[in-house]
Structure 1
Amino acid sequence: MPMKEQESSTKRRASGFSLPELLVSMALALIALLVIGSVVLTNDRFQRATIGTSDAQTTGSLALYAIERDARMAGYGLANSNALGCSPIQYYYSAGGAGCGAECYSRPANAASALPDLGFAPVVIENGAAGAPDAVTFAFANPRGRVIPGTLKEDMSQPSAELRMEEITGFGVNELIVAFQPGVGCALMQVTQIQGASAQRLLHDAGGGIPYNPDADSSLFPTFTKGALVFNLGRPIVRRYDVANAQLRIVDYFSYASPTALPTFNTGAEVLYDQIVDLQAEYGKDTDNDQVVDTWDNVTPAPGSADWLQILAIRVGVLARSRDEARPEGGACRATTVLPAWEGGDFALPGGVPSCFKYRVFETVIPLRNMIWRES
């Protein structure tokens, strides 16, 4: 081969890809990137949907379980036909013991009290305005011994006077009790001493380390007379559930540092579960006294009303939301296009529908067994 032809061939081989070859290669690479990107985006969308649904399933189930657990115990030691619905319970709380003024009294003694109202009832539903989430409070006694109420055998001479009982079996020192009498109301006290034998007295003295009893000289508590009932709450459980900022919260009014410690009165809410956007509840009422629920509503009976005896169950609906929004397809949210519903009606969604979030509904009917088996 001549030298010139050999040099020309060598140059062509050393020049690399031609322009058409480069363009074809770039086109193939771009197509591959588009395919890979589409696969990644599709996978991410399905992953978000799967994880979001799983999160809603888990948190919704746990939220409903927590509420149901307390609902099943509601009314234990409280479901007495005579005292049921007494509200508000008169109580006093001072972390340092006696020596506090009117600010340490609840209503009705202090009409401007910042302390929450507590009722002598197994469950109280606070209906949210205009479809807003409800709040539900459950209460039950937790005594070491006695469950049935005792009876005063003599009048109290003053609010701080000892309680002279027919008998005192089952009451314990440092347990909380509630005295009740029609026309007088109900008051919470802390037992500080028990005098047995022939005395049969429960003392509720004031002093340091006794946060629930006011000073004797300035007590605003009512005075009870012979025949008043005295309920042994022991270490009571009173819990309020509500929803705020897409979180299920709980207020444990009586919190315990240890199994033997006195309860600390607490009004601070703690977050139980995130992504819970609604809580709705209704009473199940037996309006014709045949032991069968025939009416469901969220109307709380008036304090002391006989209508409290009609409440035999509650039904609860919880709405859980996915953690992440589903990315809009074509610019429109289609994850939820109709309002989620439960047996009591439609839930109200933050922002309405359509929504980019996915929702799961959890609901149940809970018999209030302590109301069904209550003492007449």
Structure 2
Amino acid sequence: MRPAFSRPLPVRQRGLSLIELLVAMAIGLIVTLAVTSVITIGEGKRRTTTSTNDMDQAGAYAAYLLDRAVRSAGSSLAQSTLPTDRGVFGCKLNAASLLPASAFPAPFAKNFKSANDLRVAPVLIAKNQSDAGSDVLVVMGGDAVAGGVPRGLTDPGSATTLSMDNTVGISTGDLVLVSQNGTADCLIEQISGTSAKVLTLGGTYYTAGKSTSLQGLAASTSTYVTPLGNPANGNVEFQFFGVGDNRTLYGYDLLQIGGITSAQALADGVIEMHALYGLDTNGDGILDAWADPGATGYDIATVMATTATIRQIVAVRIALVLRSASKERDTVSASSITLFSDAVDASKKSLAQTVKLTGTDDLNYRYRVVDFTVPLRNMLLLP
């Protein structure tokens, strides 16, 4: 018989059974898989959102740069056509030894015209002539203190001097364009000194001329001097814009201001840039038609040599195609992108262009089209 004061023996502690352990592991795996799936989906959405935002910001920045450049195109040049032509539009550009002897740097090296062929115009579009096969945009202009008003020579000058009735508003270091109606060449020159009625030429941008000499132009009172601005102030613009092989929009300073001899990257993720000319065909100051820069009469060689066509161009429509940096697992884009679907030429023919996405995994990226029109305000001021 057990004593009344004795305690019961403790129950032995037991662990999980195999079935309980397997059930717990299964539940844990299910929870882990669910959490991992949520994290993976969330991370994918985050990368897509970030990549899309970066693409949108790059597009907005590229559009801002191009708008700012094109909007001022023709400044200091447009007045050289009033009231009579001073030989600026369409003249062959000479700018000391700064222009390359053969090809321009990438992305303007493979197809774009050589420096020997380049002529003066507010805006030029070279269709499909960048190294990546997109259009090249050429913008020229200046912002001189003297307002870009051309001045005629009053007395014969020399290979280093220009004589005129006054030199007000023109300072040492300024650039001027020396031209003459009926003469093919025009010369960019830099002022190295001034007096009341004489400009002395010299410095980095001095050129004696090629087929047309400065001395020959300086000797004629039918020659005009158009102030362009001062490169030290950043108000002289002779720029190229184009897309390179690495999906980047580049800009190139034709005058190499600041000693920069190569093209500079402006915006990432740009795979195509295409543009149209906006025309005022009847001279009423209103855009009434578009022109494809590849059409007959509107290729770059014809436009820059035809003053009447240059004067008709009052706007430029630009379309940028941007690609996201983040590759998606699945197909997320169509096989082609249509640009300028609503644009028509003077005969009402559609000017829509198609960009085909044929590369490996192209359809696994997202794309944006930034389409905008820039008026050439200096050309719109012409009567």
- Give the TM-score normalised by the residue count of structure 1: 0.79
What corresponds to 2:107 in structure 1?
none
Cα distance in 1 for residues equivalent to 2:362 and 2:53? 21
Name the TM-score, length of structure 2 as normaliser: 0.77
Contact 1:90 / 1:221 at 8 angstroms: preserved in 2?
Answer: no
Amino acid across the alignment from 2:380: I
AA in 2 matched with 1:282? L
Residues matched between the structures, number? 334
- Are the counterparts in 2 of residues 136 and 241 from structure 1 also a CA contact under 8 Å? yes
Cross-structure match for 1:141: 142
Secondary structure (helix, strand or coil) at the match of 1:340 reads strand
Superposition map of 1:323-338 within 5 A: 323-328=325-330, 333=331, 335-338=332-335
Please point out which of 203, 206, 211 is paired with 2:204.
211
Distance 1:283 1:84, change over 3 A: farther
Give the distance between the partners of 1:69 and 1:166, measured in 2 at CA. Answer: 35
> Is this contact kept in 2: 1:254–1:264, CA < 8 A?
no
Give how far 1:279 is off.
1.1
Aligned position for 2:226? 231
Instruction: State whether residues 124 and 304 of structure 2, in contact with CA within 8 Å, keep that contact through their aligned partners in structure 1.
Output: no
In 2 relative to 1, CA 114–71 (structure 1 residues): closer, same or farther, beyond 3 Å? Answer: closer
Q: Which runs of 5+ in 1 are unaligned?
A: 96-101, 107-112, 256-262
Task: Indicate how the Cα distance of structure 1 residues 123 and 103 shifts in structure 2: closer, same or farther if over 3 A, else same.
Answer: closer
CA 1:231–1:214: 2 relative to 1, 3 Å: closer
Residue type of the alignment partner of 1:213: Y
Q: Which amino acid aligns with 2:278?
A: G
Could you tell me which residue of structure 1 aligns to residue 154 of structure 2? 153
Say if 1:87 and 1:324 are closer, same or farther in 2 by CA, change over 3 A: farther
Residue aligning to 1:93: 97
Q: Does residue 373 of the first structure (1) align with residue 369 of the second (2)?
A: no
Query: How many Å apart are 1:266 and its aligned residue?
Result: 3.5
Which residue is equivalent to 2:339? Answer: 342
1:359 aligns with 2:367: yes
Q: Is the deviation greater in 297-306 or in 223-232?
A: 297-306
What is the identity percentage for the equivalent residue pairs of Structure 1 and Structure 2? 26
Return closer, same or farther for 1:187/1:354 CA change in 2, 3 Å cut-off.
Answer: closer
1:316 aligns with 2:318: yes
**Alpha-carbon offset, residue 94 of structure 1:** 6.7
Long gaps (5+) in structure 2: 3-7, 105-112, 231-235, 341-351
Deviation at 1:267, TM superposition (A): 3.1
1:253 aligns with 2:282: no
Q: Is the 8 A contact 1:86 1:121 kept in 2?
A: yes
The C-alpha deviation readout for 1:252-284, integer Å capped at 9, x for no partner, is 3346xxxxxxx4454311111211111111111
Provide Cα deviations, 1:278-307, integer angstroms capped at 9, x if missing partner: 111111112232322233222230424321
Determine helix, strand or coil for the equivalent of 1:133. Answer: coil
Distance 2:321 2:124 in 1: 20
Cα distance in 1 for residues equivalent to 2:17 and 2:52: 53
User: Structure 1 residues 215, 123: closer, same or farther in 2, change over 3 A?
Assistant: closer
Q: What is the CA-CA distance between 1:153 and the residue it aligns to?
A: 2.4
Instruction: Output aligned runs, 1:109-188, within 5 Å.
Output: 118-128=118-128, 132-156=133-157, 160-184=159-183, 185-188=185-188
Q: 1:194 to 1:68 in 2, by over 3 A?
A: same
Question: CA-to-partner distance for each residue in 1:288-341, whole Å, 9 max, x for gaps?
Answer: 32322233222230424321111110011112221211222xxxx2x1124233
